[in-house]
Amino acid sequence: MAAFSKWKAIDENSKPMASQQNTAYEALVTKLATAQKDLLAFKERDGIRNVLNSFNADDICDQAASQLLKTEKDLEACYKRIEQLEAEVESQRTLRRIDNRDLKERTVHLETKSPSNTSSTEYDALREPWRSIRERLAILEREKVEWLEEKESYEGIKEKKHLQGYYDPLTTKIIHFRNNPAFLAAENRKLVLQQLRRECDRLKEIILGSESSNPSNLKILQKEIRELREQLANAEKFNQRLKEIVREKIKVFREACYILTGYRIDDIGENRYKLQSIYAEHPGDYLIFSIATGGKVNLLETDFLNTIADLLDKYVSAYNAIPALLSAVTMQLFNLQTIQLTSSDAL
């Protein structure tokens, strides 16, 4: 009878612990459900982006840039939430292992001291909360895998946006031509719009003054207004088409510079420029130049710079010939790739 009372006391002590574990797992499941709702909201936002593709190209570019920035921030939030959930899951696992060890010790103790006719039923009742916890942990693991898949999908969308030409205005700077055709076209469009607006205002004043006195003049003015509106619409269409042509020409020009010179040039801010060769073997094979006031060019420290110390001594230290250095780097990387291809063909 004393052994049975001790069994009952241990069972009652284990129930609050199981209840606390259930509450912790329910809170974790709620957090994952909230995260899934956030993902659904992200998908709905992507659907709205597709609708915006029918509007002005410049507006789309600005909106896409801001939306891309927001997506990156959401993605960072996803990373933090996943890390938090992983930490909580690991904490729950550790707690479960400790509780399982205590449960096994109690079970062995109870099996040796409890009556044989009641040990099986009470043992099953004691293990039932932990079986439920294991099932919930398996569900959380599956939801974690789904969350990671959604995260990879968003990373793919982000990379696709970058390939399509969208950029983060906080980290990327666009270099414009001095006599930029797009800028000239935009200024011309502003002048045309200002003239048309002034003309419309003048006609409105005439209409308001002649509505009651001369109906024939009113019809003439209405006709002129329609013609001016048509001219305005045609001017806007022409300007839009011109913008598209200029944007396409700039894109082709940048790609041609990359193919012909063998270097992709990115402005990373503060008069610093990142140059990466078309023959670079690794993403980290790039050079960074800083252009000071007066046109003085300085090479900044990078991992790749340490691998071409001999070229620096030969071209920069001796002659301060940056173009010669870039040409030598191109030939060195080209020769390395050629040797590797020849070796693989020979094998």
Q: Would you say the C-alpha torsion 211, 213, 219, 222 has a positive or negative sign?
A: negative
Query: For residue 142, which amino acid is it?
Result: R
Q: In the structure encoding, which two tokens stand for residue 337, read together? A: 């790739």
* Three-state DSSP state, 271: coil
* Three-state DSSP state, 306: helix
Query: For residue 296, which amino acid is it?
Result: K
User: What is 46-109 written as a DSSP string?
Assistant: HHHHHHHTTS-HHHHHHHHHHHHHHHHHHHHHHHHHHHHHHHHHHHHHHHHHHHHHHHHHHHHH
Q: What is the CATH number of the domain that holds 285?
A: 3.30.457.60
Number of structural domains found in the chain = 3
Assess whether 102 and 194 both reside in one domain: no
Residue 267 within a domain: yes
Please report, in tens digits, the pLDDT of each residue of the chain (347 residues total). Answer: 444 444 444 445 554 555 555 566 566 666 666 666 666 666 666 655 655 554 444 555 566 667 677 777 777 777 777 777 777 777 777 777 776 676 666 666 655 654 444 455 655 665 666 777 778 788 888 888 888 888 788 777 777 776 666 666 666 666 666 677 777 888 888 899 899 888 888 888 776 766 555 566 667 778 888 888 899 999 999 999 999 999 999 888 878 888 888 888 888 888 899 999 998 888 889 999 998 888 888 889 999 988 998 999 999 888 889 999 999 999 999 988 887 666 665 55
Q: In the structure encoding, which two tokens stand for residue 76, read together? A: 């960072």
Interval 144-202: pLDDT, tens: 888 888 878 877 777 777 666 666 666 666 666 667 777 788 888 889 989 988 888 88
Assess whether 141 and 267 both reside in one domain: no
Assess whether 127 and 13 both reside in one domain: yes
Residue 7: its pLDDT value, please?
A: 43
Assess whether 7 and 53 both reside in one domain: yes
Of 87, 82, 61, the C-alpha closest to 154 is 82
* Three-state DSSP state, 298: strand
Q: In the structure encoding, which two tokens stand for residue 295, read together? A: 């046109």
Q: Of 259, 283, 308, which residue sits at a domain end?
A: 259
d(CA 271, CA 290): 6
Q: In the structure encoding, which two tokens stand for residue 298, read together? A: 């300085």
Residue 175 within a domain: no
Residue that has been written with the tokens 């598209």 in this structure: 244
Assess whether 31 and 128 both reside in one domain: yes
Residue 248: its pLDDT value, please?
A: 92
d(CA 185, CA 247): 12
d(CA 195, CA 192): 5
Residue 259: its pLDDT value, please?
A: 87
Q: Of 259, 278, 304, which residue sits at a domain end?
A: 259
Tally the residues of the chain: 347
Residue 279 within a domain: yes
Assess whether 216 and 77 both reside in one domain: no
d(CA 54, CA 59): 10
Assess whether 266 and 211 both reside in one domain: no
Cβ burial, residue 71 (10 Å; 0-12/13-18/19+): buried
Assess whether 236 and 327 both reside in one domain: no
The enclosing H or E element of 327 equals helix 322-346
Assess whether 60 and 105 both reside in one domain: yes
Assess whether 281 and 198 both reside in one domain: no
Residue 304 within a domain: yes
Assess whether 198 and 309 both reside in one domain: no
Assess whether 102 and 216 both reside in one domain: no
Segments forming the whole domain that contains residue 93: 2-163
Residue that has been written with the tokens 């729950």 in this structure: 92
Residue 53 within a domain: yes
Residue 81: its pLDDT value, please?
A: 73
Q: Of 237, 259, 281, which residue sits at a domain end?
A: 259
Residue 27: its pLDDT value, please?
A: 66
Interval 255-292: pLDDT, tens: 888 888 888 888 888 889 999 999 888 888 999 999 88
Cβ burial, residue 133 (10 Å; 0-12/13-18/19+): buried
